[in-house]
């Protein structure tokens, strides 16, 4: 089973512009046209609509859904599916908040971005009666901090962040974020951290006992101090190739998203540090501007079919919040990749990353200042 790679988050320097767009979507005039109250429907939808007279246009990260998905949707739903790709959350946010008619019906975005879009009044409240496969989701999938009850988003994949390490190249297995921030002598200059701003800050935030969603200037000043102290001991910042660096031995310990830690390799393991971590979620949302809302809901319902949804777990190696799909996935593949065995209750021990609105710029500034420090 080959594993696909994709980049869904930008390096901090490029992220600033994207987040500015997200922030503008959450404030000013956009905020004044806020979404309907949670659970409210903007229009009555027809559960018996002829889907052959509708089509669905989605935007999603590359390699995040089956390549033959349009053919499958056509066969199952009798509707045409057009797939557009975006590289990052920031790219699709810029498109969706531009005010232009995107022609999109469904977008895949991470949870905090779905929250920002909803607060900007750009999302259709979900019509659960048109998505009966919501029943396949774990109960924990309805407890996500950015959207409790799945009012405007449906979780597609979820996971956490931790330390991925070489068992044969470290004398003592890491247990704390401080093992990344202040590595033992044998790991100095053989450690990487992520550069994307919320994940750049995560190790220091958790090591200091703070919330991943802190808005406190005092907290972030302490985080900056800890990140700058860690910088001389790093091999570098890396959001995409840390797994390869571990395999080659160039790195012995890296900050990693669980699904990107190549634990199928004999000497590589993943651990969630004792101070705790985050819970990240990628979601599907229906746009209020969609002209094919019945088909959009039917598409999401189709994705939640266990035979379709398990594709994500088996090919991306990210857990899916769909109990029926996880139960149906390849048992050998699940056994060979430890992060796939993490339970929903374990995942919910992580702290959900939520949209911080105008305070998001504090993390942008933090990442910029840490990157600029020599």
Architecture of domain 51-158+280-345: 3-Layer(aba) Sandwich (3.40)
Rg over CA atoms, the chain: 21
**154 closest CA partner among 335, 30, 272, 325:** 325
Q: Greatest CA span in the chain, whole angstroms?
A: 66
Q: How far apart are CA 55 and CA 268, in angstroms?
A: 44
pLDDT at 44: 85
pLDDT digits (tens, 9 = 90+) for 124-168: 999 999 999 999 999 999 999 999 999 999 999 999 999 999 999
Per-residue pLDDT, 197 = 86
pLDDT tens profile 319-351: 999 999 999 999 999 999 999 999 999 999 999
CA atoms within 13 A on the CB side of 147: 27
> Using CA atoms, how far apart are residues 325 and 367, in angstroms rounded to an integer?
37
* pLDDT in the model for residue 116: 95
CATH number of 160-278+355-372: 3.40.190.10
300, 286 contact by CB (below 8 A): yes
Secondary structure (3-state) at 348:
coil
Each residue of 173-203: pLDDT tens digit?
Answer: 999 999 999 999 999 999 999 988 899 999 9
Please tell me which residue, 21 or 105, carries the higher pLDDT value. 105
**Helix/strand/coil for 330:** coil
The reply to whether 51-158+280-345 and 160-278+355-372 are identical in fold is yes
Q: Left if phi > 0, otherwise alpha if psi is -120 to 50, otherwise beta: which for 279?
A: beta
Q: Does position 301 have pLDDT exceeding 90, yes or no?
A: yes
> 35 to each of 22, 93, 119, 153, how far by Cα in Å?
16, 17, 6, 13
Q: Please tell me the distance from the alpha carbon of residue 5 to that of residue 162, in angstroms, as a whole number.
A: 18
pLDDT score for 1 = 31
Query: Does residue 81 register a pLDDT over 70?
Result: yes
Q: Side by side, which strands form the sheet with 236-237?
A: 236-237, 191-193, 253-257, 161-166, 268-271
Structure tokens at 280: 């990240």
The predicted model gives 268-273 an average pLDDT of 97
Lowest mean pLDDT among 103-112, 134-143, 276-285, 352-361: 352-361
Q: Locate 140 and state its tokens.
A: 């924990």
* CA 292 to each of CA 39, 92, 133, 198, 269: distance values in angstroms, whole numbers, following the listed order: 20, 19, 19, 35, 45
Place of tokens 């997200």: 22
CA distance 223 to 221: 5
Q: What percent of the chain has pLDDT over 70?
A: 89
Compute the average pLDDT of residues 302-312. Answer: 96
Please give the span between the terminal C-alpha atoms of the chain, in angstroms, as a whole number. 42
pLDDT of residue 334: 94
Q: What is the pTM of this model?
A: 0.85
Mean pLDDT, rounded, for 293-298: 98
Lowest mean per-residue pLDDT among 5-9, 82-86, 134-138, 305-309 = 5-9
Distance, in Å, from the CA atom of 55 to the CA atom of 291, rounded to the nearest integer, reads 9
Backbone φ, ψ for residue 187 (5° rounding): -115, 0
What are the structure tokens assigned to 223, written together?
């985080």
Element of type H or E holding 367? helix 360-372
Q: Which of 183, 189, 186 is nearest to 169 (CA)?
A: 186
The residue ranges of every structural domain in the chain are: 51-158+280-345, 160-278+355-372
Q: Is the pLDDT of residue 16 over 50?
A: no
pLDDT at 31: 32
The reported pLDDT for the residue numbered 42 is: 60
Q: Which of 85-99, 111-125, 301-315 has the weakest average pLDDT?
A: 85-99
Is the pLDDT at 284 greater than 50, yes or no?
A: yes
pLDDT of residue 5: 35
Residue 19 predicted with pLDDT over 80: no
* Rounded-to-integer distance, Cα 356 and Cα 220, Å: 14
User: Which residue reads 């905020």 in tokens?
Assistant: 31
Residue 17 has pLDDT above 50, yes or no: no
Mean pLDDT of the chain: 89
Is pLDDT above 60 for 10? no
């Amino acid at each position: 089973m080959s594993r696909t790679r994709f980049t869904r988050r930008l390096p901090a320097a490029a992220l600033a512009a994207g987040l500015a767009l997200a922030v503008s979507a959450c404030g000013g005039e956009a905020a004044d046209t806020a979404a309907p109250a949670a659970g409210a429907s903007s229009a009555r939808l027809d559960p018996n609509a002829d889907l052959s007279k509708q089509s669905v246009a989605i935007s999603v990260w590359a390699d995040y859904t089956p390549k033959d998905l349009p053919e499958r949707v056509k066969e199952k739903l009798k509707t045409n599916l057009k797939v557009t790709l975006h590289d990052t959350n920031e790219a699709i946010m810029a498109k969706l908040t531009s005010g232009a008619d995107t022609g999109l019906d469904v977008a895949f975005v991470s949870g905090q971005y779905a929250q920002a879009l909803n607060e900007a009044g750009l999302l259709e409240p979900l019509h659960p009666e048109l998505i009966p496969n919501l029943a396949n989701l774990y109960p924990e999938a309805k407890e996500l901090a950015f959207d409790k009850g799945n009012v405007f988003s449906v979780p597609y994949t979820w996971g956490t962040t931790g330390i991925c390490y070489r068992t044969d190249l470290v004398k003592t297995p890491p247990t704390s974020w401080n093992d990344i921030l202040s590595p033992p002598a044998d790991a100095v200059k053989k450690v990487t951290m992520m550069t994307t701003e919320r994940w750049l800050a995560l190790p220091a935030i958790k090591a200091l006992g703070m919330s991943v969603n802190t808005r406190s200037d005092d907290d972030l000043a302490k985080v900056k101090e800890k990140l700058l102290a860690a910088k001389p001991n790093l091999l570098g910042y890396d959001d995409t190739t840390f797994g390869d660096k571990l395999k080659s031995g160039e790195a012995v310990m890296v900050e990693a998203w669980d699904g990107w830690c190549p634990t199928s390799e004999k000497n590589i393991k993943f651990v969630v540090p004792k101070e705790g971590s985050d819970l990240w979620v990628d979601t599907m949302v229906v746009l209020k501007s969609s002209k094919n809302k019945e088909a959009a809901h039917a598409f999401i319902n189709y994705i939640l079919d266990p035979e379709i949804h398990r594709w994500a777990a088996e090919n991306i190696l990210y857990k899916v919040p769909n109990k029926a799909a996880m139960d149906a996935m390849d048992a050998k593949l699940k056994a060979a990749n430890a992060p796939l065995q993490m339970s929903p209750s374990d995942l919910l021990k992580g702290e959900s990353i939520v949209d911080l609105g105008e305070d998001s710029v504090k993390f942008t500034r933090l990442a910029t200042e840490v990157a600029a420090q020599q």
